[in-house]
């Protein structure tokens, strides 16, 4: 048992270093957006009333590219630009290899009932309502069309809810940014395009889980609803939806990457890291690992900086819940943050001592909030925990 625990600890440390090094690598790079038009080729996606998901997703994505390039300062890269089949594993892999800043996957929804309509934007998470699981099965089912999918996905079964539960890597800093972007997208759909917004959802989707950056999967609407299908299949509809997404991406870029220097952007949400431009990649990697070693060491000490506050985020959703302990399994010191009143994030505690925050995390998890994690703020602004510990 001790051997297993040691191995688990080593794996955790390696994952921690990987994610944080990736955060630092994004701090000085071109602003790259990966646009992923869902499905394609032998995988048509949803088809209702003559409307085909793979076609609408691609047309909308190509329109989105033009809008982003018109803005300037954004490099757009597609996972596909034509009617071809791209394996699911290759979509986020491309984004990871380029250290992209955002991964945007575009899809269309459908159900057997022709009545439902409206937009939804998904982020990676552990919330698994029956409806969310059905979406997860639909979007992940493309895996079954791939050659050697059993070996590639190591036993992952897109039809099995128990396997879906295994997709639970919480990329904490990325998750918060993903929620922020999703909120901007849904607000634009509702307020600028006047579509019904069904809100932001968290569900285990492979394509989001594997992307090591803020990422969202957008369901433009229901093709099973004839009226909505007509809108999404039209040039006017695709242009409006693309414009709403583009505006959200541009607002996100300005919020997190507001400082431009030459052809690069500095991440304004974290402290800048300067590196000698003549250093080779091995020296840069060594430097980053030294930073992580320092962070790891300091995480075991008390943080007594009044400007840095740690909280434990344990729940998020579309409902504004009264901050009564009875609504949160007895937790008393609960606070809430919201993005324009469309999505709410609930956190427990507030301390400048990281060790106290870790104890708060244990308390929250003991209440049944197994997906809870620590978040940090400096001068009221949300920052990464790694940055706070520095």
Q: Which residues are registered as beta bridge partners of 109?
A: 222
DSSP codes of every residue in 186-230: HHHHHHTS-PPEEEEEE---HHHHT-SS-EEEEEEEETTSHHHHH
Position 29 scores a pLDDT of 52
Domain ranges in the chain with CATH number 3.30.70.1070: 308-389
Task: Tell which CATH architecture fits domain 31-257.
Answer: 3-Layer(aba) Sandwich (3.40)
What are the tokens at 353?
């001592």
pLDDT at site 166: 37
**At which residue do the structure tokens 């840069």 appear?**
284
Per the CB < 8 A criterion, the answer to whether 203 and 128 are in contact is yes
The pLDDT of residue 128: 38
User: What local confidence, expressed as pLDDT, does residue 174 receive?
Assistant: 75
What pLDDT is stored for residue 233 in this prediction?
97
**What pLDDT is attached to residue 241?**
98
Instruction: Indicate where the chain has its CATH 3.40.630.40 domain(s).
Output: 31-257
Whole-number Å distance between alpha carbons of 30 and 101: 8
* Topology classification of domain 308-389: Alpha-Beta Plaits (3.30.70)
Which strands form 259-261's sheet, in the order they lie side by side?
Answer: 28-29, 264-266, 259-261
Closest Cα to residue 386, out of 35, 132, 23? Answer: 23
Cα(110)–Cα(114) distance, rounded to whole angstroms?
8
Angle between helices 2-25 and 281-298 (to 10 degrees): 120
Structure tokens at 298: 């300091």
Chain-centroid distance of CA 324 in Å reads 29
This prediction's pTM: 0.61
* Distance from C-alpha of 310 to C-alpha of 356, rounded to nearest angstrom: 9
Structure tokens at 158: 């897109």
- In tens digits, the chain (390 residues) has pLDDT values of 444 444 444 444 444 444 444 444 444 458 999 999 999 999 999 999 999 999 999 999 999 999 999 988 899 999 999 999 988 777 877 877 888 899 999 999 999 999 999 999 998 764 433 444 454 455 555 545 555 555 554 455 555 544 443 333 334 567 778 888 999 999 999 999 999 999 998 776 767 767 778 899 999 999 999 999 999 999 999 999 999 999 999 999 988 876 554 445 455 443 332 233 333 334 433 443 443 344 434 433 343 445 899 999 888 776 788 899 988 889 999 999 886 666 788 899 999 998 999 999 999 889 888 768 888 888 888 887 777 776
- Which has the closest alpha carbon to 103: 266, 219, 215, 196? 215
Distance CA 268, CA 245 (A): 22
pLDDT for res 251: 93
**In sequence order, what are the residues at sequence separation of 6 or more whose Cβ sits closer than 8 angstroms to the Cβ of residue 66?**
none
Distances in Å between the Cα of 118 and the Cα atoms of 139, 219, 341 are 17, 9, 18
Q: Identify the pLDDT of residue 132.
A: 42
Per-residue pLDDT at 385: 77
């Amino acid at each position: 048992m001790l051997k297993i625990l040691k191995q688990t600890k080593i794996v955790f440390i390696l994952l921690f270093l990987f994610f944080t090094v990736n955060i630092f690598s994004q701090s000085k790079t071109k602003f790259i957006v990966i646009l992923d038009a869902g499905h394609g080729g032998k995988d048509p996606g949803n088809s209702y009333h003559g409307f085909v998901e793979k076609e609408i997703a691609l047309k909308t994505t190509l329109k989105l590219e033009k809008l982003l390039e018109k803005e300037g300062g954004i490099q757009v890269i597609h996972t596909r630009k034509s009617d071809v089949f791209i394996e699911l594993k290759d979509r986020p892999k491309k984004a990871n290899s380029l250290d992209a800043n955002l991964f945007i996957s575009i899809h269309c929804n459908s159900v057997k009932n022709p009545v439902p309509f409206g937009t939804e934007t998904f982020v990676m998470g552990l919330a698994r309502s029956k409806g969310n699981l059905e979406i997860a099965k639909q979007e992940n089912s493309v895996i079954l069309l791939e050659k050697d999918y059993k070996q590639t996905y190591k036993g992952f079964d897109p039809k099995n809810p128990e396997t879906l539960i295994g997709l639970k890597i919480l990329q904490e800093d990325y998750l918060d940014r993903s929620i922020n972007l999703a909120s901007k997208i849904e607000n634009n759909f509702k307020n600028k395009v006047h579509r019904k917004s069904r809100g932001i959802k968290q569900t285990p989707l492979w394509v989001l889980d594997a992307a090591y950056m803020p990422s969202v999967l957008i369901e433009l609407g229901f093709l099973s609803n004839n009226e909505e299908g007509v809108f999404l299949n039209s040039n006017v509809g695709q242009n409006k939806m693309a414009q709403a997404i583009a505006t959200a991406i541009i607002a996100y870029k300005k919020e997190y990457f507001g400082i431009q220097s030459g052809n690069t952007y500095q991440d304004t949400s974290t402290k800048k890291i300067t590196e000698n431009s003549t250093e080779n990649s091995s020296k840069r990697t060594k430097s980053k690992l030294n930073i992580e070693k320092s962070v790891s060491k300091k995480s075991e000490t008390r943080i007594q900086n009044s400007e840095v506050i740690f909280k434990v985020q344990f729940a998020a959703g579309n409902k504004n819940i009264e901050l009564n302990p009875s609504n949160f399994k007895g937790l008393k010191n609960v606070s809430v943050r919201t993005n324009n009143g469309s999505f709410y994030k609930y956190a427990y505690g507030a301390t400048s001592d990281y060790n106290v925050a870790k104890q708060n995390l244990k308390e929250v998890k003991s209440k049944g909030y197994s997906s809870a994690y620590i978040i940090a703020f400096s001068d009221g602004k949300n920052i990464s925990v790694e940055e706070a510990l520095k």
